[in-house]
């Protein structure tokens, strides 16, 4: 009887070691993780190309019409393993802020847009950010 119980416990321990790996392998690596924000209801970053120009668009919306928002868009270019600053634009307002700029004369390479900012209200100043996908010119 002791051997059966010992065998059962050994098998149970063995199977429980593999369960977390099986559950972890079901996650979708292509689906980005969306952060939870207390003050911001939506943060968007969009980057598209037309020839040697890039259209950059950023958007931040808060949960309250009285929240103050600051938004900065930063265009970056890939260089080796790092991202170098190309240009940036800023705006601010209440409840929602959107910003759209087109920049031309870009050299060939891979670009990405970072939208970052702060949503302030209700005694909280919350930093937010989102990156666009990459484009190649």
pTM for this predicted structure: 0.75
Please state whether 80 falls in left (phi above 0), alpha (psi between -120 and 50) or beta.
left
Query: Does 131 reside within a domain?
Result: yes
Tell me how many domains the chain contains: 1
Query: Is 82 among the domain residues?
Result: yes
Domain contains 30: no
In a domain, 71, yes or no: yes
Residue 130, C-beta contacts closer than 8 angstroms, at least 6 positions apart: 43, 44, 45, 114, 115
Provide the domain limits for residue 113: 40-136
> Per-residue confidence at 4, pLDDT binned at 50, 70, 90?
confident
The pLDDT tens digits for 70-114 are 999 999 999 999 999 999 999 999 999 999 999 999 999 999 999
In a domain, 15, yes or no: no
In-domain check, residue 44 = yes
CATH of the domain at 56: 2.60.40.10
Residue 4 lies in a domain: no
The answer to whether the Cα torsion of 27, 29, 34, 35 is positive or negative is: positive
For residue 6, being part of any structural domain is answered with no
For residue 34, the model assigns a pLDDT of: 72
């Amino acid at each position: 009887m002791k051997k059966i119980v010992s065998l059962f416990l050994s098998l149970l321990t063995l199977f429980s070691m593999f369960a977390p790996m099986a559950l972890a392998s079901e996650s979708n690596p292509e689906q980005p993780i969306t952060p939870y924000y207390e003050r911001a209801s939506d943060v968007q970053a969009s980057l598209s190309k037309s020839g040697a120009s890039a259209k950059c668009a950023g958007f931040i919306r808060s949960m309250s019409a009285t929240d103050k928002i600051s938004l900065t868009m930063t265009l970056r270019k890939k260089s080796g393993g790092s991202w170098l600053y190309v240009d940036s634009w800023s705006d601010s307002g209440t409840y929602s802020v959107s910003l759209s700029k087109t920049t031309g004369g870009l050299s060939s390479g891979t670009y990405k847009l970072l939208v970052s900012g702060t949503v302030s209200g209700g005694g909280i100043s919350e930093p937010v950010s989102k990156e666009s996908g990459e484009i190649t010119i």
